[in-house]
Chain A
């Protein structure tokens, strides 16, 4: 039980901090959230800068072309990037955190050579075609069908919650090739310029457009684009999950801490902190976010020593998502009628209220108990896999 960083870890932090300080001023402001071509260009440019500096794929093993950093260095990387206000991973999310690691673990030599450099160098964007309108929490019930026809699979069906589909080059696609639930699924690489793909953007409650629905009508995908064996796609997908090193929500957690500080300063100016009940809610969130930061370090330490993040991931997500929502609810309450608009507004003393940021975070927090496993599914996982309670029909 030791929070001390080693000398190499401290050196890694310092070197990264120097690089961020020198690099970030030239990166510029991010484009508007719904200008997808501009966002693609901005996010890829940032990835290119990371690549040139040797920071691309800190969490990728060296054999995949990554930096092969330890989980603790990955934590430091995310911490420093967030604290310095570096761009988010953005459209590179699926490539860097999911498709790339999957190809490293399960892809052929040819697939690795073809796809990995494009992700690391910030040249190609990936999206994810896993969920379907009728297969959400119960992903293994997915029905998008792939039928073998010579050297191709012919794929028909629909996918949903496909982030960045509008600007993606490839899609990691789960398709049904057999009848058995999770032993009838295959993992394919779908080029997004293949004929038969229709993309329909979905608008979120925040008004943002990162999600899309995909309609696939007899899309031909070469058999050579299959990662892993036919009908082995479920296992292939699960392998990637083990790439998670307990750092999944580091950026989001630190962002919440920053927003809490911003909100506290606004609340103090508005006199809202004079209310003892409001003050205690702030204090409670300080305690919760600090504890979640400690839990992150525990999970990362576990991953560093054992290769798996232990029980911490679901525990972390359940608690974090709840407290992020509590922060959002507190912000909306304190901003009062200024929460009714995402246009930047000033308070009575003329200083900015930060309502646009807080409102965006409030909306995001609402998605946190749904995305990447609803809190209800997470509780089932915790209860069954960690506490050993009996499984039941759902």
Chain B
């Protein structure tokens, strides 16, 4: 067992960070605040060229990596506040259900709130939409092209880089190809699980970046003639932020390792006294729950460390807070995951 982040994985993260810093710096991304299209088509294609959507696809289309690498990459995308339907496009590429998704030629959204009146992210720029049941336990459908009854773009979306449409109803889409073969939910469920995991990874990115911004500010900002980071009240907030981020990251990485290794799932499930399926669900629910809380908690704490400046539009902390709130409502809310996890302790041993 070697559960460290590997050298290759570190290099991959650094590569993504450098690419984003060069091609998609925050000022550039923020120029689109309030637009109907959150990210320029060329920028999306640049993400595609970097291989962000095709990480787990076999070569030559993809890079043949596993979910452990995917969560490392998505953590960086969360850190950098890269907008757009990142998870949906990855899932569409992974399932091979939308032409051009892997290359970043199109955007594919996700919707996890059923088919009724609902808010849909990025609707105006989507080539397709993957529609999941709120808990992922019913067959997913694919809506392409994306047409929706009474779709109205909202004027005041929470996150200025996540445009929203209100729809009265989503039309019934096509079953996701591959699910039909034996009537099982295998593909739908595995897509939902990957989606939850990658969303959790984005959240770890928000949590980690909020921590870094808070620590940098606490070292630099002087009051009472000394950096505010020398005050224990501030130190302890920062320490708690690190704890939340590290614990959530460990949970996300463990869930990714389980997603990649059925043999480990077998062994660990036997030890934990549950079925392999339950162990996978349990690890994912825990990862999403803790990552949601770390992202929201750290964004809030970072705003507090920044004082009045943290409450300004200019300082990007509100963007992490808002994006984290958006992400916490997809692939299961923290409350839903906590409720689902309550079934486990009494059943084990």
Whole-angstrom CA separation of A349 from B258 in the bound complex = 39
* Nearest residue, chain A, Cβ from B335: A280
**A3 contacts B342, CB within 8 Å?**
no
Scoring A residues 350 to 394 as 1 if CB is less than 8 Å from chain B, else 0, what string do you get? 000000000000000000000000001011101110111111101
**Residue B141 at the A interface, CB < 8 A?**
no
Are the CB atoms of A5 and B3 closer together than 8 Å? no
| B289 in contact (CB, < 8 A) | yes
Task: Tell me whether A287 is interfacial, beta carbon within 8 Å.
Answer: yes
B137 within 8 Å of A by Cβ?
A: no
Expressed in whole angstroms, the Cα–Cα distance for A383 and B237 within the complex equals 9
How far does the Cβ of B329 sit from chain A's closest Cβ, in whole Å?
A: 17
CB-CB under 8 A from B238, the residues of chain A are 383, 387, 389
**B227 located at the interface, meaning its Cβ lies under 8 Å from any Cβ of chain A in the complex:** yes
Minimum Cβ distance to chain B for residue A68 (Å) = 18
Q: Is the CB–CB distance between A379 and B239 below 8 Å?
A: yes
- Interface membership of B253, Cβ < 8 A: yes
Give bound CA distance, A71 to B4, whole Å.
Answer: 13
Complex CA distance for A376 and B6, rounded to whole angstroms: 32
When distances are taken between beta carbons in the complex, the residues of chain B under 8 Å from A1 are 2-6, 9, 68, 253, 256-257
A290 interface hit (Cβ, 8 Å): yes
A265 interface hit (Cβ, 8 Å): yes
Q: Given that A301-B3, A376-B232, A392-B232 are contacting pairs, would A291 and B250 also be in contact in the complex, using a CB cutoff of 8 Å? A: yes
A interface secondary structure, majority: helix
- Please indicate the chain A residues that have their CB under 8 angstroms from the CB of B229 in the complex: 383, 389-390
B341 touches A319 (CB 8 A): no
A1→B264 CA distance, assembly (Å): 13
Instruction: Judge if B308 is at the interface, Cβ distance under 8 Å.
Output: no
Binds B, one of A145-153, A200-208, A292-300: A292-300
Closest A residue, CB atoms, query B235: A383
Q: State which size class the interface on A falls in.
A: 35 or more
Q: How many angstroms between the C-alpha atoms of A84 and B230 in the bound complex? A: 46
Is the Cβ of A376 less than 8 Å from the Cβ of B236? Answer: yes
Q: Which residue of B lies closest to A297 (CB)?
A: B3
Asked if B5 and A280 make an inter-chain contact with CB atoms under 8 angstroms apart, the answer reads no
Cβ of A273 within 8 Å of any chain B Cβ, yes or no, is yes
Q: Considering the chains assembled together, what is the distance between the CA atoms of A129 and B242 in angstroms?
A: 33
Q: Is the CB of B345 within 8 A of A286?
A: yes
What sequence of 0s and 1s flags, for each residue 270-289 of chain A, a beta carbon within 8 Å of any chain B beta carbon?
00010010011111111110
Q: Are B242 and A276 in contact (CB under 8 A)?
A: no
- Interface stretch (choices B128-136, B147-155, B185-193, B280-288): B280-288
**Residue contacts A-B, CB under 8 angstroms, 23 given:** A1-B2, A1-B9, A1-B253, A2-B3, A3-B257, A3-B264, A83-B271, A261-B348, A263-B345, A279-B342, A280-B338, A282-B342, A283-B342, A283-B344, A284-B341, A291-B250, A294-B253, A315-B242, A318-B243, A376-B232, A379-B240, A387-B239, A390-B229
Known: A1-B2, A288-B286. 7 other contacts (CB 8 A): A290-B282, A291-B290, A297-B3, A298-B3, A388-B219, A389-B229, A390-B227
Which 5 A-B residue pairings sit nearest by Cβ, starting from the closest? Answer: A283-B341, A264-B346, A287-B286, A383-B235, A283-B338
**Which residues of B does A touch, CB under 8 Å?**
1-6, 9, 68, 215, 218-219, 226-227, 229-232, 234-236, 238-240, 242-243, 246-248, 250-251, 253-254, 256-258, 261, 263-264, 267-268, 271, 282-283, 285-287, 289-290, 335, 337-342, 344-346, 348-349
**Chain A residues packing against B (C-beta within 8 Å):** 1-6, 9, 72, 83, 257-258, 260-261, 263-265, 267-268, 273, 276, 279-288, 290-295, 297-298, 300-302, 304-305, 311-312, 315, 318-319, 376, 378-380, 382-384, 386-392, 394
